[in-house]
Structure 1
Amino acid sequence: MSKKKEILYHIVFWFLFVGLEQLLKSITIHKDLDTTWSILQNLGFILLQLLIFYSNYLIICPKTILNKRWRLLIVAQFGLIVLFPAIRFVYEEIVLFKITGYHNYDMSDLNPLYYIYDNSYYSIRILLFSLVGYFMKYMWNTNTQVTQLILEKKQAELQALKNQLSPHFLFNSLNGFYSDLYDTNPTVATDILKLSEMLRYVTYESENDMVLLKDEVLFLQNYIDLFKRRFDGKVAITFTSPYNTGTWKIPSLLLIHFLENAFKHGITDDYDNPVIIKIKTQAGRLTFTTTNKYRTTQSYDEHGIGYKNISQRLNILYPENHSLNVEQGTQYFNVTLNIPLS
């Protein structure tokens, strides 16, 4: 849902909500509504409802519902139910009393619990409206994202079919080369086997949304090995990954973009300042970092199409539950990605 459309819906809602409420008051309340106290009380009450509605809609719901923190959501709702009468009491019984000299309640025997109970109808009502509004927005955005992902997947599949050379032919050919060279040139045979594994991984595993972390680590390791082979081993790189990755899963082909960028733009032959690639798992989360020295004349692709695609993918998969920090200093380029493990 676009921001303009969302704002329009909110304007229509508040126009109808406030309009109907004022109409109901004019019919049922048998006292003047044009006195100073009534005007200020009515205005303050509307603003209080706006405050509670948008505190829930803009702050609490996004921080709890998106991350499925249901207990915190329930606690926050009770907090707002108490906050509503607290603010109303201060405004009506203290501020307005000093201005107009009138109270809304009989202060001689006013009980705090009764005051909260008496205001619960208004507080719960406005909270329900905000929850329904947020869930409608959430479902709208989710359906839009799913539709967009399905469309993009179909387009990618169509493009792959147009450009595809039979993977089975390539695998069989590479395996044949591997068999022929295994005895005479085992080093080249090993490289061919790694290339075959990478091709198989890209062709088949990329069709899955999630892959085993150990398979993604192996893919990166094979990529690094072939990169070193291309430059006769004269590559300064440190690659660190967890020894035991268990059955953790991450999105397929998520990390290769940052590795490619480090090799493409970074200085890879400076052994005093090697390219550093680290993968760390802790408390059910993955932290992936790359650090590399770069030439100041180089221009990074981190703000190009590749970076935008990665950011969009992360926002869809982990809304408000991930971090991607890109820091470009005068000599070094650092990327830190943190996502939950599945």
Structure 2
Amino acid sequence: MSKKKEILYHLIFWFLFVGLDQLLKSITVYNDLDSTWSILQNIGFLLLELLIFYLNYLFICPKTIPNKKWSLLIIAQFGLIIVFPAIRFVYEEVLLFKLTGYHNYDVRDLNPLYYIYDNSYFSIRVLLFSLVGYFMKHLWNTNSQLNRLTIEKKQAELQALKNQLSPHFLFNSLNGFYSDLYDTNPGVAADILKLSEMLRYVTYESENDMVLLKDEMVFLQNYIDLFKRRFDGKVAVTFTYPHDAGTHKIPSLLLIHFLENAFKHGITDDFDNPVVITLKTQAGRLIFTATNKYRVTQSYDEHGIGNKNISQRLHIMYPENHSLDIEQDARYYNVSLTLPLS
């Protein structure tokens, strides 16, 4: 939902809410009340409702509902049910009384428990409206994201079908080269096999949203091996990863972008300052780090389309349950990524 639509819906809601509320008061409330007190009380009461509504809508709900922290949400609702009469008491029974000499409640009824109970109708009412409003917004945004992902996936599937002939042709050709060179040049044959595995992985596994972590690690290792082969092994890189990744899964082709960046922009021939790629699992989370030295004349595009796409993808798949930190100082470029394992 766009901000303009959201603001418009809120304005319509408050126009109807306040209008119906004032109509009800004009019918049920006595007309012989002091006009100054009545005006100030109405303004203060409306501002209090706005405060409680948007405390819940803008701060509490976004921190609890997307992450399914239901117990914290319930505790916060009870807290606001108490905050509402507390603020109202200070405003009406203390400040307004000093200004106008009028109490809203009979002094005999100013018992704390009774005051909270008597105001619970107003506080619960505004809290329910804010909860319903946020749930509708959350549902709208979630459906929009799912629809966008579905369309993007269908477009990718269509493109994959159009290009289906090319991968099959390449697989068959590479396998033929591998067979021809297996006996005469086993080193080149091994590289061709790695290239074939990488092509197959990119072609087929990328169609899945999630892939096995161990398969992603093999893909990264093959990429590193072929990069070393390209420069006759004169590549300073350290790749550390868990030997037993189990059945953990991560989003497909998520990490290769950072590896490509490190090799493309980093200094890869300084064995005193190698490119360091580390993968580890801890407490059900994946921790990925990449560090590389770079030339001062070489600037990284931190706001490039690659980083933006990955950030957007992580935000959709792991809203507020991941971290991606990219730091660059005078000599080093550092990437740190954590996300939950499936």
TM-score bucket of the superposed structures, by smaller chain? over 0.9
Instruction: Name the residue aligned to 2:5.
Output: 5
For the Cα contact (< 8 Å) 1:236–1:275, is it kept in 2? Answer: yes
Aligned to 2:142: 142
Number of the residue aligned with 2:16: 16
User: Which residue in the other structure is 1:208 paired with?
Assistant: 208
Cα shift readout 1:81-104 (whole Å, capped 9, x = no counterpart): 111112111221222222222222
Per-residue Cα deviation, 1:4-48 (whole angstroms, up to 9, x for no partner)? 111111111111111111111111111346622211111111111
1-side partners of 2:10 and 2:56: how far apart? Answer: 14
Structure 2 residue 163 is the aligned partner of structure 1 residue 157? no
Report deviation, 1:177. Answer: 2.5
Distance 1:34 1:300 in 2: 68
1:123 alignment partner, SS class: helix
Is 1:47–2:44 an aligned residue pair?
no
Unaligned runs of 5+ residues in structure 1 are none
| Matching of residues 209-224 of structure 1 within 5 Å | 209-224=209-224
| In structure 2, C-alpha distance between the alignment counterparts of 1:168 and 1:278, rounded to whole Å | 33
Q: Does 1:80 pair with 2:72?
A: no
SS in structure 1 of the partner of residue 49 of structure 2: helix
Identity of aligned residues (%): 82
- Supply the distance in 2 between the matched residues of 1:242 and 1:184 (Cα, whole angstroms): 34
Given that 2:292 and 2:332 are in contact with CA atoms closer than 8 Å, whether structure 1 keeps it comes out as: yes
SS state at 2:165 partner:
coil
CA drift of 1:171 comes to 2.3
Distance 1:221 1:56 in 2: 48
AA in 2 matched with 1:14 = W
**Could you say what secondary structure the match of 1:226 adopts?**
helix
Q: Distance in 2 between matches of 1:87 and 1:280?
A: 50
Q: Deviations over 1:56-89 (max 9, x none)?
A: 1111111111111111111111111111112111
TM-score by length of 1: 0.95
Aligned to 2:68: 68
Query: d(CA) in 1 for partners of 2:160 and 2:277?
Result: 30
> Compared with structure 1, are the counterparts of its residues 33 and 316 closer, same or farther at alpha carbon in structure 2 (3 Å cutoff)?
farther
Secondary structure of residue in 2 paired with 1:337: strand
Q: Aligned in 2, Cα 1:303/1:164: closer, same or farther, shift over 3 Å?
A: farther
Query: Counterpart amino acid of 1:53?
Result: F
Q: Which residue pairs with 2:25 in the alignment?
A: 25
Q: How many residues align?
A: 342
Aligned in 2, Cα 1:32/1:244: closer, same or farther, shift over 3 Å? farther
SS at match of 1:108: helix
Q: CA deviation at 1:332?
A: 1.0
Cα pair 2:64 2:70 within 8 Å, conserved: yes
Contact 1:327 1:334 in 2 (8 A): yes
2:337 corresponds to = 337
Matched with 2:301 is: 301
Q: Hey, what does 1:180 align to over in structure 2?
A: 180
The corresponding residue for 2:100 is 100
For residue 97 of structure 2, what is the amino acid of its counterpart? F
Q: Check whether the contact 2:275–2:290 (CA below 8 A) recurs between aligned residues.
A: yes
Do the aligned partners of 2:60 and 2:76 also contact (CA within 8 Å) in 1? yes
